Amino acid sequence: MTKKKYIFDTSVFLTDSHAINHYQDGDIVIPFKVLEEVDKHKKRHDGVGSNARNIIRILDELRDIGSLKSGVELPNGSTVYVKSPDTFRTSLPSDLDLDNPDNEIIAVALMEKHTNDDIILISRDINMRVKCDALGITAKDYIVGQVVSTKDKVYEGTAVHMVDDHVVESFYAGENTFTNDSQEIYPNQFVMLRSNSNSKKTALTKNISSSTPLQKIVEYKKGVWGVRPRNREQRFVFDLLMDNNVPVVTLIGKAGCGKTLCALASGLEQVIENKQYTRLIVTRPVEPLGRDIGYLPGTMEEKMRPWLSPIQDNLKYLMGDKYAFDMHLNSGAIEIEALTYIRGRSISDAYIIIDECQNTTIHEIKTILTRVGENTKIVLLGDIEQIDNIYLDETTNGLTYTIEKFKDHELAGHVTLKKGERSAVATLAAKVL
């Protein structure tokens, strides 16, 4: 029987430092060049840096068990090796320049092919996988953190149920109405009941749990902090954002759909007007945040402002005063927090907004959510089609992961916004470009 042997690329460990524990059906080979590449990222103050430091610690602990050159057996039965292709330079294709780190990693895979094992190179780098295919090496993406197969499968938080006329009428009459057991439904999911005989006859409802009847959504016809919902999804969004029984809210949608504006309006309403929370904390992950923020002048708030300009634009619009942002910032009602400094904190009595959350890793999103203390609501926003982190995609980012993992729990709710409301130009651009 042919034995499987997995060659790990650097991108795998920078995505998940525990990746070696997920391949128990074969041995694992770590090219020496991967260790050098990982070492270059260990001083970063983001999820990538954390993964780099962690895999170095893991490999160092394996040294106490045995030699990585000879192979160290893991509890799951697989064996981990660290190998270099230097002695095989003469047998490599002439176009494979070993001064290129990717090529040196591929060279290890070519070297291992001489063992007659089933060699599979695991990489998050698309070009690396293409090069492997051209050289006759089987290459696969690292998808252990993938919770859905494609972006189209991501939970939307809404559903349409076709029912008889009398069901819609009885709901409006105040009678207890339950969903059809044959249709899958999740806690805090919004359900539109639509008549089988008249498609215009509908009722917007919210499912709390399988044991409770469908609820009417809370209408905010007068608006929240001056913002009125402009479409059905925004009505759902305000219902979730203003519901104190749902401390975790996730929102995804393209640019201009109103997710940030709605979240900020709800936060200001509950922090400043209703005094439900003592402060509004806003932040967003930024790729160069951990490395570059220290070189900018001023306080942390001043350093973060260039990265938070979308938040500032929305706050100035909501408050109708260009000085209002600074006023509430100075009073402590609004805090600008870098994700780098959330680790180790316990944040209570706060309304937290994490914008551009599609750029967070699973590790980062876990760090963020485990900082949530008593009487705190956290809102995660993003567009999973606009990801800047090269180690993430639509199905493996922290926002998608949270949506899928939390959808079964009553503490969380989600809505996907599909209609643009910023302007006709923004809506058209998001659709056709």
Q: Do residues 371 and 346 make contact, with C-beta atoms less than 8 angstroms apart?
A: yes
**Rounded mean pLDDT of the chain?**
86
- pLDDT at res. 293: 52
Q: Is the pLDDT of residue 289 over 50?
A: no
Task: Compute the average pLDDT of residues 326-340.
Answer: 77
- What contacts 287, CB < 8 A, 6 or more positions away? 46, 359, 388, 389
The pLDDT assigned to 334 comes to 85
pLDDT band at 90 (very low <50, low <70, confident <90, very high): very low
Degrees to nearest 5, angle at CA 391 with 18 and 336: 100
Query: Can you tell me the distance from the alpha carbon of 374 to that of 278, in angstroms, rounded to the nearest whole number?
Result: 12
Under the banding of pLDDT at 50, 70 and 90, the label for residue 255 is confident
d(CA 201, CA 160): 12
Pairing of strands 189-195, 202-207: antiparallel
Q: What is the amino acid identity at position 372? A: V
For residue 323, what pLDDT band results from cuts at 50, 70 and 90?
confident
- The residue type of 216 is K
What DSSP letter does each residue of 151-197 carry, written as one string?
A: GGGS--SEEEEEE-HHHHHHHHTT------TTS---TTEEEEEEESS
Query: Which tops the pLDDT comparison, 229 or 292?
Result: 229
First and final CA of the chain: distance in angstroms? 51
pLDDT value of position 425: 76
- To the nearest 10°, report the CA torsion of 251, 257, 262, 263: 40
Choose among 377, 290, 384, 291: nearest CA to 338.
Answer: 290
CA 351 to chain centre: 19
Q: Which domains does the chain have, with CATH numbers?
A: 4-140 (3.40.50.1010), 151-155+227-432 (3.40.50.300)
- C-alpha 361/C-alpha 393 separation (Å) is 10
Would you say residue 301 has pLDDT above 70?
no
Instruction: Please say whether the beta carbons of 279 and 333 come within 8 A.
Output: yes
Q: Over range 278-288, report the average pLDDT.
A: 78
d(CA 259, CA 379) in angstroms, rounded, equals 10
Contact 361, 48 (CB under 8 A): yes
Strand arrangement, sheet containing 215-216: 158-163, 189-195, 202-207, 215-216
Answer whether residue 421 shows pLDDT above 70: no
Q: What is the pLDDT of residue 340?
A: 65
Q: What is the pLDDT of residues 393-414, one digit of tens each?
A: 898 899 999 999 999 999 999 9
When pLDDT is averaged across residues 117-144 and rounded to a whole number, the result is 91
**CA 388/CA 370 separation, integer angstroms:** 24
